[in-house]
A and B are shown apart, each in its own frame.
Chain A
Amino acid sequence: DGGITQSPKYLFRKEGQNVTLSCEQNLNHDAMYWYRQDPGQGLRLIYYSQIVNDFQKGDIAEGYSVSREKKESFPLTVTSAQKNPTAFYLCASRMGGLGNQPQHFGDGTRLSIL
């Protein structure tokens, strides 16, 4: 079945560490997105990529980095510069073109600080 796979489901980070969250899709979608979800805050856009080897900052990109070397993959690194990384992280993808094509979401990764 086609879909979006996020791993791991739970992730723990020590202070000062970088961690990388994986997002893989086999939907042949051109665009991919990362969102952060905090309780009572909805989802906020971190980074997005509409084509391979290109990505753009969203609303809360500070302390995060991404790469898009393959169409299927869009990993997110939470760096030590992100002072409040504890959150639920959601990856999404969509077909290219205008925004009437909906985003499809993975099941998320919950990141916690030890």
Chain B
Amino acid sequence: AQSVTQPDIHITVSEGASLELRCNYSYGATPYLFWYVQSPGQGLQLLLKYFSGDTLVQGIKGFEAEFKRSQSSFNLRKPSVHWSDAAEYFCAVGRPSGGGADGLTFGKGTHLIIQP
């Protein structure tokens, strides 16, 4: 079965500093990969997705992610964080059955804290 690992439960970054959130997956083929962000008590908002082509993908709010097949990774980056980026971040992979349409498997999330 596919799985998603986000090794960092919490990350603290100073405002204006760069950010990298890690995501590793296990999957037999090229997966559909997603990053979502969740503010407290809210639903999830899509930041970006990857399914083929250029391995560096751009998303909303200045985020980008790089797919590395050799490392089974899909890390999320931002060059300069803002206080409003404080939230929970989830990496997800499309389930292999149904061509990826049968729901998502999520990592456990990384809680991002921004220091002034």
Chain B: interface size category: 20 to 34
Q: How far in angstroms is the closest Cβ of chain B from A110?
A: 8
B68-110: CB near A (< 8 Å → 1, else 0) gives: 0000000000000000000000101011001111111111110
A106 close to B104 (CB less than 8 A): no
B101 close to A42 (CB less than 8 A): no
Cα(A107)–Cα(B45), bound, Å: 10
Please name all residues of chain B whose beta carbon is closer than 8 Å to the beta carbon of A102 when the two chains form the complex: 34, 46, 49
B38-69: CB near A (< 8 Å → 1, else 0) gives: 00011111100101100000000000000000
Cα(A101)–Cα(B109), bound, Å: 21
B44 close to A90 (CB less than 8 A): yes
A41-79: CB near B (< 8 Å → 1, else 0) gives: 111110010100000101000000000000000000000
* Residue of chain B at shortest CB distance from A43: B106
Cα(A103)–Cα(B46), bound, Å: 8
* Residue of chain B at shortest CB distance from A56: B102
B100 close to A99 (CB less than 8 A): yes
A96 close to B9 (CB less than 8 A): no
Cα(A78)–Cα(B22), bound, Å: 34
B107 close to A40 (CB less than 8 A): no
A99 close to B90 (CB less than 8 A): no
Known: A102-B46, A104-B46, A108-B41. A96 touches B106 (CB 8 A): no
Show 18 residue pairs from A and B whose CB-CB distance is below 8 angstroms, ordered by the A residue. A33-B103, A40-B109, A42-B107, A48-B102, A48-B103, A50-B102, A96-B101, A97-B99, A98-B101, A99-B98, A99-B99, A105-B36, A105-B44, A105-B45, A106-B43, A107-B42, A108-B42, A110-B41
The chain B residues found within 8 Å of chain A, CB to CB, are 4, 9, 32, 34, 36, 41-46, 49, 51-52, 90, 92, 94-95, 98-109
